[in-house]
Amino acid sequence: MANILNIGLSALLAQQRALTTTSNNIANASTPGFSRQRVELSERPSEQVGPGYVGTGVDVAMLRRMTDDILADQLRTAAGGFHRADAFASLASSLDDLLAGTDTGLTATMQGFANALQNVSNDPSSTSSREALLSEARSLIARFDAMDQRLGDIALEVRTRMTAAADRITALGADLAEINRQLIAAGTAAGLPGPSELLDKRDRLLEELSGLVQVDAAQQRDGTTSVFIGTGQVLVLGGTSAELAVTAGNADPLQPQVVLRGFGPDVNVTSFVSGGELGGVVDFNREMLAPARSELGRIAVGLVTTMNAVHRNGMDAEGQLGGDFFAIGAPQAFAAGSNTGSGSVAVTITGVAALEPTNYRLTFDGSAYTLQRVDNGAVVPMTGAGTALSPFVADGLSIVVSGTPAASDQFFLKPLEHVAGTLRLMVTRSADVAAAAPTRTSTALGNTGTATISSGEIVDVTNPSLLTTSTIAFVNATTYTINGAGSFTYTPGANIDINGTRVQITGTPAAGDQFVIEQNVGGTGDNRNVQALIDRFRSSVFNGDVSLQDAAAGLITNVGARTSEVTNQRDVQQLVFEQNRDRLESVRGVNLDEEAADMLRFEQLYQAAARIMQVSDNLFQTLLNTLLR
């Protein structure tokens, strides 16, 4: 009887525990990160009674927390992948919208500038078409400036998001360290499983952390979880956590970098972190934003260099040589903050055609310099020695190192990233637009031959005698003198360069024929130089036969293609993430129908157990009644 009572009691307690657990599951059905629990029962050891063994009831063996660590780990990886793609895609979309909008883009304004040049070419002495050209030039500059500012805004957003992510990661690390401490206090070091809600909370924190940056979570023997980021840098170890901070770059103070502080000296982990929102933002910055800014700068430098080269060869409405049409800021170079030597670097742009839209890192190993692109890490071969007389030349840049750098010193070169906003118009008056060429040619009236002379083009505008009058006189049909001196053989159509002007004479000259090259005075209807500007604007500027318009359109297309690619990637990653989440949920999620059925079952079992006790009591009462008579 006592046995029956005990058995009944054990059953009662077991079903009570089961009902409690089921109620807990139902209560927490919608709690995020909750792992449902199941009671696991085990038989009590049986007693030997007579020829056999009799059972003694049921025990609650354990309360199992239904989860799967492998699936949880996979889910964290998927979360990291998804959030990285999501952050990247959303930033890429805003970059895409900026470049492509007809209100905010570049190609329409550039075409407007080209059209204004054509109108000046039609009617060079018209003040209104010159004014319109200057107005279009100012619009073009304003557009470059606006785009540069907006790109700067995106860079600021990148920095803000990086900082927010780093702060949240630090906070989560601290929380995980706290949970580790609580788990130790709850006795996990001795092998106890630890409170379920702490473990659930830990899993939830790890999942959120994975959404911010890819982490490795390693379960330690004492029940705590250690967390590593990047390539094995420690974020959480036992009860202590590190701090993740965003600071100004060591090599490039204008670029944010991610620094891990806490366990030992500060470590720059910017290139090690991957995955999660932080990884996505850092990747976006390196792979799309910085190259886009450099490309915009490259187009601006191309515009300035080519337009200036042609404009300098021209003559304005007041008879002055053209000079520069645009001006643009100089390339930037920094010495890394960690440098121990005293070296400094100066960069100038010498070859527009070879410019690449990237920043560069120049490293000194003690004896030699290595130049690397920042966007893909490729090493760029250089010629020259780095001195002022023999500068390093690579990718259109000329680099001079001065001072004494120490071994492993680094220098950061940004030739193009920040120049698009420094564009300026040097021509302020409509009369200063150099539409004409500085020299003109004429054929003497007394010529009897049939030779004609071309109108001339400028090959060297710096020639000090450019504007002096020169005469080509033919002594006979095959020989001529220049300014009365020399004896040159006449080849029809060959270039004749005099004082910086190049002409060609074709046809058959007669003895005594003369041709004159002289300063273009009063030639207000001359459109030769503005026509040259138009040609240069449309012709190839960069390697690969890329014109300015091609480069502007290419920038839009590349960003658009990449955005489309990452958006598709994000959609795929989202599916993977949801699949992984569903798989984990199928193990640990609460199904209310299942709990309802269980509740019914446990209730019945409880009633049955109670009945056992009643039966036991009845038996006892019967015995008592029998004995008492």
Cα separation, 432 vs 315, in Å, equals 8
Mark 285-304 with x for binding to another protein (rule: CB under 8 A) and - for no binding.
--------------------
Whether 392 and 398 have beta carbons less than 8 Å apart is answered as yes
Q: Is 126 in the site for another protein (CB under 8 A)?
A: yes
Select the span of 3-11, 117-125, 166-174, 366-374 touching another protein (CB under 8 A): 117-125
In the list 218, 597, 619, 624, the residue contacting another protein (rule: CB under 8 A) is: 597
In the list 125, 233, 408, 471, the residue contacting another protein (rule: CB under 8 A) is: 125
Long-range contacts of 9-12 (CB under 8 A, 24+ apart): 9/57, 9/613, 10/44, 10/56, 10/57, 10/58, 10/59, 11/57, 11/58, 11/605, 11/608, 11/609, 11/612, 12/606, 12/609, 12/610, 12/613
Least separation, in Å, of the C-beta of 139 and another protein?
15
In the list 59, 73, 97, 457, the residue contacting another protein (rule: CB under 8 A) is: 97
Q: Between residues 270 and 563, which has the closer beta carbon with respect to another protein?
A: 563
Q: Between residues 46 and 508, which has the closer beta carbon with respect to another protein?
A: 508
Cα separation, 50 vs 530, in Å, equals 119
In the list 271, 557, 621, 622, the residue contacting another protein (rule: CB under 8 A) is: 557
Q: Between residues 364 and 474, which has the closer beta carbon with respect to another protein?
A: 474
Instruction: Using alpha carbons, list the distances in angstroms from residue 187 to 61, 181, 183, 222, 239.
Output: 19, 10, 7, 9, 14
The first and second tokens of residue 304, run together, are 């300035």
Whether 316 and 322 have beta carbons less than 8 Å apart is answered as yes
Mark 484-523 with x for binding to another protein (rule: CB under 8 A) and - for no binding.
--------------------------xx--------xxxx
Cα separation, 362 vs 357, in Å, equals 16
Select the span of 169-177, 206-214, 325-333, 597-605 touching another protein (CB under 8 A): 597-605
| Contact set for another protein, span 570-589 (CB under 8 A) | 578, 581-583, 585-589
Instruction: Using alpha carbons, list the distances in angstroms from residue 127 to 433, 523, 562.
Output: 10, 15, 45
Site size for another protein (CB under 8 A): 74
| Contact set for another protein, span 307-366 (CB under 8 A) | none
Q: Between residues 121 and 306, which has the closer beta carbon with respect to another protein?
A: 121
Least separation, in Å, of the C-beta of 432 and another protein?
18
Least separation, in Å, of the C-beta of 21 and another protein?
16
Q: Between residues 43 and 578, which has the closer beta carbon with respect to another protein?
A: 578
In the list 404, 469, 495, 524, the residue contacting another protein (rule: CB under 8 A) is: 524
Instruction: Using alpha carbons, list the distances in angstroms from residue 230 to 170, 258, 432.
Output: 14, 11, 58
Helix (H) or strand (E) holding 9: helix 2-27
Please report the DSSP string for 396-449 in residue order: TEEEEEES-PPTTEEEEEESSTTTGGG-EE---SGGG---B-SEEEEE-TT--S
Cα separation, 382 vs 399, in Å, equals 10
Least separation, in Å, of the C-beta of 570 and another protein?
12
Q: Between residues 167 and 585, which has the closer beta carbon with respect to another protein?
A: 585
- The SS3 call for residue 196 is helix
Tell me which residue of 15, 56, 8 sits closest to 619, measured CA to CA: 8
| Contact set for another protein, span 55-94 (CB under 8 A) | 92-93
| Contact set for another protein, span 407-466 (CB under 8 A) | 436, 440-443, 445-448, 455
Q: Is 115 in the site for another protein (CB under 8 A)?
A: yes
Cα separation, 243 vs 235, in Å, equals 7
Q: Is 527 in the site for another protein (CB under 8 A)?
A: yes
The first and second tokens of residue 451, run together, are 């030779």
In the list 16, 20, 74, 119, the residue contacting another protein (rule: CB under 8 A) is: 119
Least separation, in Å, of the C-beta of 264 and another protein?
42
Q: Is 469 in the site for another protein (CB under 8 A)?
A: no
